Amino acid sequence: MNQMTSSSRRSGGRRARHAARSAPLSQDIRPIRAGMEGGQYRPLSDDGVQRIHHAALQALEEIGLADAPQSGVEIMTRAGAILGEDGRLRFPRALVEDMLAKAAKAITLPGRDPAHDLTLSGNRVHFGTAGAAVHMVDVDAKHYRDSTLQDLHDAARITDRLDNIHFLQRPMVARDIADNREMDLNTVYACACGTTKHIGTSFTEPDFVDDAIEMLHMIAGGEEAWRARPFMSNSNCFVVPPMKFATESCEVMEKTIAAGMPVLLLSAGMAGATAPSTVAGAIVQAVAECLAGVVYVNAIQPGHPAIFGTWPFGLDLRTGAMTGGSGEQALLTAGCSQMHKFYGLPGGAAAGIADSKLPDMQAGWEQMCSNVMAGLSGLNMVYEAAGMHASLLGFCHESLILGDDIIGQALRCVRGIEVDDETLALDQMREVCLGGSGHYLGTSQTLSRMQADHVYPSLGDRTSPKEWDERGKPDLIAKAIARKEEILLERSSARFDPVLDRAIRARFNIHLPA
């Protein structure tokens, strides 16, 4: 009989441990997960929060917003807004306070799969995509090209497989579809058959909403099933900063609310251009605009699920270029998050944007800085957290995959440090130091907690220089490309039942191949 050598036993043990580490962790022992509690970082003082709040209310009372659609004017004036001779709607403080009292303080954004439901309340943090990039980053050729519907579908499929990307908001525009109606409908289709996570999308015109809702009813299994679990929300730029309503977007919002679709009230001013150049001033304007949105939504339907979407962006005042990867952007986002908590409303803002054109070292520091600060601030929905380059002009599949690792480390920072009898580890110190091995590598506590306490990168390299050299000096981008190709070679678990798919294609002009 062959005897197993000690080296083979050790090797087998290592393989078993490696297999155990590679296997998916059950939710109860995962070190990080969607909805972890942040809130440790507060860039604004209590006095600063109060001053921003009162300045926003003063702006609404004295300046107000222009260009509301006639339907919106009627809805908001019935609630108590005042239409001036200059055509601007102004909002008395009492009206704003009344609508804040009616607004939903905790909402759930369902996924098609209930395992991906997102509970938005308090300091619960979720990271995901967003944007309207018009280009795709080709990392091999270091080239930008027009984004396509297939690119969008592939982004949805990749997102579906990444643990730390918790939702998909449409990150790019399908520029290969010239007709806006067909682009909107195909966007709904491409996202929904690519992921079972919650999805956000936009609509170009109000007239396109009804057909999209019809498609969503088909996917959900009927209107009642859709209204019970609306797995797609409307990302709505209802304002055009500074302090104007976006007329058509407001009409879109009215229709989506009637259809039971959650809304993201999105104010995206540019500090120094369409918003004040100071961090505090840009936050004041964004808060004022979104408070007007709270009035609008709750005057239509009190308690309708809405996200307070203050998205002020930074600007490089030397060039006029957007600076999504700046420290100022990180502060804008974290400060907005603090205001969401002040109002007790579910909130979202932008982080994780890279000004860098490629997934390089610059992109890494830009993405990590704002993602960590957004997470630590307790931001409910961290939009644009992965994949976005060139200040939102380009999207990169490989960067989306690498962003999963970045967000994993950011979430570990959000989790913080637990202090109890076990983590203080005095028993371990006694065992190791008083006649023990002199190190902690093999203790039962170290082995039992290595998965529950530590986040290990999927693609990041932690080998020694010698091991790295022996493995052929693996390149991070090449590893991301390989991971992308591996995901896209497999059929999407979110794909529709063939009968449903045929019915959708019979009703709508779907551009993706069957």
Point out the residues of the chain with pLDDT beneath 70. 1-28
Cα 167 to Cα 383: distance, rounded to the nearest angstrom: 9
Q: Which pLDDT score, from 0 to 100, does residue 29 have?
A: 76
Instruction: Identify residue 266 by its one-letter amino acid code.
Output: L
Calculate the alpha carbon distances from 411 to 166, 453, 483 in Å.
12, 12, 22
Q: Residue 155 has which token pair?
A: 């982004």
CA distance 133 to 393: 5
Residue 461 confidence (pLDDT): 95
Which domains, and CATH codes, for the chain? 105-272+302-415 (3.20.20.480)
Residues 6 or more apart whose Cβ sits within 8 Å of residue 71: 250, 251, 254
Q: Could you say which DSSP state residue 347 is in?
A: B
Q: What angle do CA 490, 496, 501 make, to 5 degrees?
A: 120
DSSP state, residue 25: P
- 224 sits in the region (left: phi over 0; alpha: psi -120 to 50; else beta) called alpha
Which secondary-structure segment (H or E) carries 199? Answer: strand 198-201
Query: For residues 414-425, b (16+ Cβ closer than 10 Å) or e, as one string?
Result: bbeeeeeeeeeb
What is the distance between the alpha carbons of residues 388 and 351, in angstroms, rounded to a whole number? 10
Per-residue pLDDT of 19-61, as tens digits, reads 555 556 666 678 999 999 999 999 999 999 999 999 999 999 9
In Å, what is the CA distance from 498 to each residue of 220, 232, 337, 489? 15, 21, 43, 19
pTM: 0.94
Q: What is the token pair recorded at 116?
A: 């991906």
Q: Which residues contact 181 (CB under 8 A, 6 or more apart)?
A: 204, 205, 207, 208, 211
State the Cα–Cα distance between residues 455 and 44, nearest whole angstrom.
30
pLDDT of residue 451: 84
Task: Report the alpha-carbon distance of residue 187 to residue 211 in Å, rounded.
Answer: 12
Distances (CA, A) of 362 to 142, 219, 354, 357, 359: 15, 41, 8, 9, 8
CA dist 159 and 412 (Å) reads 20
Report which secondary-structure segment, H or E, holds 183: helix 180-192
pLDDT at 5: 47
